[in-house]
C-alpha cells in the first residue's frame, strides 16, 4: 500500500513540474536581449566577493543587470514557483525550464564584454551581465 502511495505522489510531482514549466511560445531565436523586458530597472554593483547573485522571481531576473570582473562567477537562483533557464551567447543552464525552485546555475565569465541572456520558457524575461 505505501509503495503505491509513493508512486502516486512521485507521479503527481512530475506532472506538477511539467505543467509549471509551461510558458508561452518563444519566437525570439536570438542570443538574448531585445526590448520590452521589465527587469525592475535595478542594477547591482560589482560583487566584492568575486561574483554576483541573480534571483529568478515573479518571472524576472533580479537584478536585471549585474557587473562583475573577468574571472568572476554569476549564480542564478530560482526563487520562483515555476521552472526557468538561463540562456546566453556561450552559456546555457540546460533544458528549457530545467532550473526548478530552489536550484541554482553558475557560470564563470572569462572575458570582458556585455552578455545578454534570457529564460527561453518566458518571453521577455531577460537580463545582462557586464564584465569588466
pLDDT tens per residue across span 41-93: 444 444 445 799 999 999 999 999 999 999 999 999 999 999 999 999 899 99
CATH number for the segment(s) 2-131: 2.60.40.420
State the pLDDT at residue 61. Answer: 98
Burial class (CB in 10 A: 0-12, 13-18, 19+), 59: middle
pTM equals 0.64
CB proximity list for 7: less than 8 A, separation 6 or greater: none
Is pLDDT at 107 greater than 60 in this prediction? Answer: yes
Residue-wise pLDDT tens digits, 29-45: 333 333 333 333 444 44
The full set of domain ranges for the chain reads 2-131
Q: Count CB neighbours of 112 within 10 A.
A: 11
Percent with pLDDT over 70 in the chain: 63
Amino acid at each position: 500500500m505505501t509503495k503505491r502511495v509513493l508512486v502516486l505522489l512521485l507521479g503527481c510531482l512530475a506532472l506538477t513540474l511539467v505543467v509549471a514549466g509551461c510558458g508561452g511560445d518563444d519566437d525570439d531565436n536570438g542570443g538574448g536581449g531585445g526590448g520590452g523586458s521589465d527587469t525592475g530597472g535595478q542594477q547591482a554593483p560589482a560583487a566584492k566577493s568575486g561574483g554576483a547573485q541573480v534571483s529568478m522571481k515573479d518571472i524576472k531576473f533580479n537584478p536585471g543587470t549585474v557587473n562583475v570582473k573577468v574571472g568572476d562567477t554569476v549564480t542564478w537562483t530560482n526563487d520562483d514557483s515555476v521552472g526557468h533557464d538561463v540562456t546566453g551567447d556561450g552559456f546555457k543552464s540546460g533544458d528549457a525550464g530545467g532550473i526548478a525552485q530552489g536550484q541554482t546555475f553558475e557560470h564563470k565569465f572569462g572575458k570582458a564584454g556585455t552578455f545578454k541572456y534570457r529564460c527561453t520558457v518566458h518571453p521577455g524575461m531577460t537580463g545582462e551581465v557586464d564584465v569588466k
